[in-house]
């Protein structure tokens, strides 16, 4: 459900927003403004989390670090649990334990979103492996 909100922007800011919409096929001023507000609030709530564009779309990531889904995937794939899993993930990804904990806190709130990103990455990896194997058989 969504509710209307009347908001005034400074002329220069509104011009920048409209230019950004023109550069983003399929975007609307309202949709882009909503996305930017959502991302801005998430970055306030989780300092150290940013949003990045990429081939799979826009996703949450650690500042100067991996995507949140990548951190969570490592935690899930480790045999360790509890604090040992955090330590192991930090070591494997060359991150501080605090940054791993930040990713896990973010995941706790946005689990559905992050799980979908992990599933998409797994599917793309499977398809890439299948294409590689087909190529290898062809060249053998």
Residue 100, pLDDT score: 97
How far is it, in rounded angstroms, from Cα 8 to Cα 17?
Answer: 13
Q: What is the pLDDT of residues 51-107, one digit of tens each?
A: 998 877 899 999 999 999 999 999 999 988 999 999 999 999 999 999 999 999 999
68 Cβ contact list (under 8 Å, min separation 6): 49, 59, 60, 61, 62, 103, 106, 107, 110, 114, 117
Average pLDDT over the chain reads: 93
Residue 1, pLDDT score: 82
Residue 4, pLDDT score: 85
Residue 124, pLDDT score: 87
Domain map (residue ranges) of the chain:
63-131
């Amino acid at each position: 459900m969504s509710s209307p909100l009347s908001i005034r922007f400074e002329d220069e800011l509104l011009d920048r927003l409209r230019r950004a919409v023109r550069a983003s096929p399929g975007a609307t001023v309202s949709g882009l403004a909503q996305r930017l507000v959502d991302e801005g609030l998430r970055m306030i709530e989780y300092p150290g989390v940013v949003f990045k564009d990429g081939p799979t779309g826009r996703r949450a990531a650690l500042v100067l670090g991996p995507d949140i889904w990548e951190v969570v995937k490592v935690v899930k794939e480790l045999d360790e649990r509890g604090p040992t899993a955090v330590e192991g993930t930090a070591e494997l990804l060359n991150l501080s334990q605090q940054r791993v904990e930040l990713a896990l806190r973010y995941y706790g709130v946005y689990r559905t979103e992050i799980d979908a990103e992990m599933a998409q990455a797994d599917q793309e990896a499977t398809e890439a492996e299948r294409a590689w194997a087909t190529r290898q058989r062809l060249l053998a």
